[in-house]
Structure 1
Amino acid sequence: MQPIIGIGSNHLIRISQHFENNYVDYTQKNYVASLSNAGALPLILPIGAPNLAKNYLSRIDALVLTGGQDVSPQLYNEDPIPQNGLNDWDRDVFEQALILAAIDAHKPILGICRGIQIINATLGGTNYQDLTTQLPNALGHNQYPTAWQTPTQQISTATGSFIEGIWGTTGLVNSFHHQAVKIAASGLKITATAADGVIEAVEDQNRQIIGVQFHPEMMATSNPQAAHLFEKFVAQI
């Protein structure tokens, strides 16, 4: 039987060119396709009140948290710096509730880009609000306009980690972010870093948490390692 994997959605909170004032809930098709191709049945979870999280978790086998807006620094007791971008408090607190409900229900969590950052903030860690401002030796962590699916940045992985089992001791990934994990929360093991020390992956085997700062869903159709990340995540459920 296919495992059902809930995908935390995003939603429009401002008028947009294509949807005008239709404030849609959505997720990028790459997340859905990557999980479907890995043998799962994706289920998109609309953003709602935090008290709905346990009901959602009772209907899924695992949780995926996706990219999007900057995680609010309120979650780790900081005021925003000028380079902090759009925050969405409704999404932040709903995803916090999903994370805690998944941990309580002993169900696996995969966080991607913003996903790793909201996991870290929820569990007591801190994030960089803007790498260029707060980490002077930071690499260019946003490869735009280079194609999304193109790996551009090298990572080094921790021995015995989930990520090392896919990429080996070193590998190439893509990069589209300006925030990142700064101090990893208690229980989260740092399992991949970029050359400048920026955290590219964390794991917690006890709580079945995997977080990556890069975007495997963008690479999955052309990169066997990215596709294998989803296959390996689904296989453990």
Structure 2
Amino acid sequence: MSSRRPVIGIATQTLPAVPGERQACWLMGRSYIEELRKVGAVPWVIPLVPHDPDTLQEIFNRLDGVFITGGVDVDPSRYGEPKTELCGTTDTDRDAVEIALLKHALAAKLPVLAVCRGIQILNVTCGGTLYQDVHAQVPAALKHDFFPTPDRPSRKYLAHDITVKAGSRMRNILGDAVVPVNSMHHQAIKDLAPRLAATAFAPDGIIEGVEGVDDQYVVAVQWHPEELTETQPGMARLFTTFAQAASAA
């Protein structure tokens, strides 16, 4: 195993310009960066420059793993649907860069860890589709959109349990058959991509976790484990096992 700290690529998200106040920015939440740094990885924050594939490829070639984070909705055009009023804000540059990043990682057999929006863009990259809004399109669904508000600011709120499939990589990492998770999403996997296996489910049947169907480390969850690592050892293991896989890549 290499003694060099693994370099993990993380695509950013667009913060639009405000005339007279700020130019457009690329940004990423600190908690994602801190969790990677805590497990010994070197986070590499990637600019959204889909118009410059040569620069992106130079970055991709230096990576040992890929981490895909939460964020705005995936544009439905990426999975062959028109965008309806059910879909929220999108970021076309982020979609393009993350799809390119994931295609590189899958082709190069780099470890992939994805959370929230990450599981969705991974599924789309691999040929799957999404619900543009779970509440509207899945009548029997639980409430999944526990977004922080001034009255309920915590991102650590445990909204529901998930059931984890026996014998899966996910079960081996999380350690338990039933795990409480937070929930801050209104979209979810509809048609699962053929190269992914569903390994965790909400009580209403919504897919909460997937992994690759081969030996490559590809793990994705619909919740936000970066907020739960201090209270749930299984959540911390998502990051430590990912970093270990990237070190060995």
**Pairwise TM-score range, normalised by the shorter structure:** over 0.9
Q: Which shows bigger deviation, 219-228 or 119-128?
A: 219-228
Counterpart amino acid of 2:140?
Answer: N
- Is contact 2:79-2:129 (8 Å) kept? yes
Distance (whole Å) between structure 2 residues aligned to residue 99 and residue 60 of structure 1: 12
1:99 alignment partner in structure 2: 102
Equivalent of residue 147 in structure 1, options 142, 150, 154: 154
Equivalent of residue 59 in structure 1, options 36, 57, 62: 62
TM-score by length of 2: 0.89
Counterpart amino acid of 1:152?
Answer: A
Secondary structure at the aligned position of 1:154 is classed as strand
> Number of matched residues?
235
Shift of 1:63: 0.4
- Work out whether 1:162 is the aligned partner of 2:177: no
CA gap of 1:10–1:67, structure 2 versus 1, over 3 A, is same
Matches within 5 A, 1:1-237: 1-15=4-18, 20-49=21-50, 51=53, 52-144=55-147, 145=152, 147-165=154-172, 166-206=174-214, 207-237=216-246
Counterpart amino acid of 2:176?
Answer: G
Shift of 1:14: 4.7
Shift of 1:229: 1.1
Secondary structure at the aligned position of 2:190 is classed as strand
CA gap of 1:84–1:230, structure 2 versus 1, over 3 A, is same
Counterpart amino acid of 1:97?
Answer: A
Which structure 1 residue ranges, 5 or more long, are not aligned? none
- Is contact 1:73-1:129 (8 Å) kept? yes
RMSD over aligned Cα atoms: 1.7
Distance (whole Å) between structure 2 residues aligned to residue 85 and residue 15 of structure 1: 20
TM-score by length of 1: 0.93
Secondary structure at the aligned position of 1:104 is classed as helix
Secondary structure at the aligned position of 2:8 is classed as strand
1:20-55 CA distance string (max 9 Å, x none):
332111111110111111121111111112624432
1:69-119 CA distance string (max 9 Å, x none):
100110111112211101111111111111111112111111111111111
Distance (whole Å) between structure 1 residues aligned to residue 198 and residue 135 of structure 2: 21
Counterpart amino acid of 1:175?
Answer: S
Shift of 1:174: 0.6
Shift of 1:221: 3.2
- Is contact 2:217-2:242 (8 Å) kept? no
Instruction: Report % sequence identity.
Output: 36
Counterpart amino acid of 2:227?
Answer: M
Distance (whole Å) between structure 2 residues aligned to residue 57 and residue 140 of structure 1: 37
Distance (whole Å) between structure 1 residues aligned to residue 222 and residue 56 of structure 2: 24
Distance (whole Å) between structure 2 residues aligned to residue 194 and residue 146 of structure 1: 23
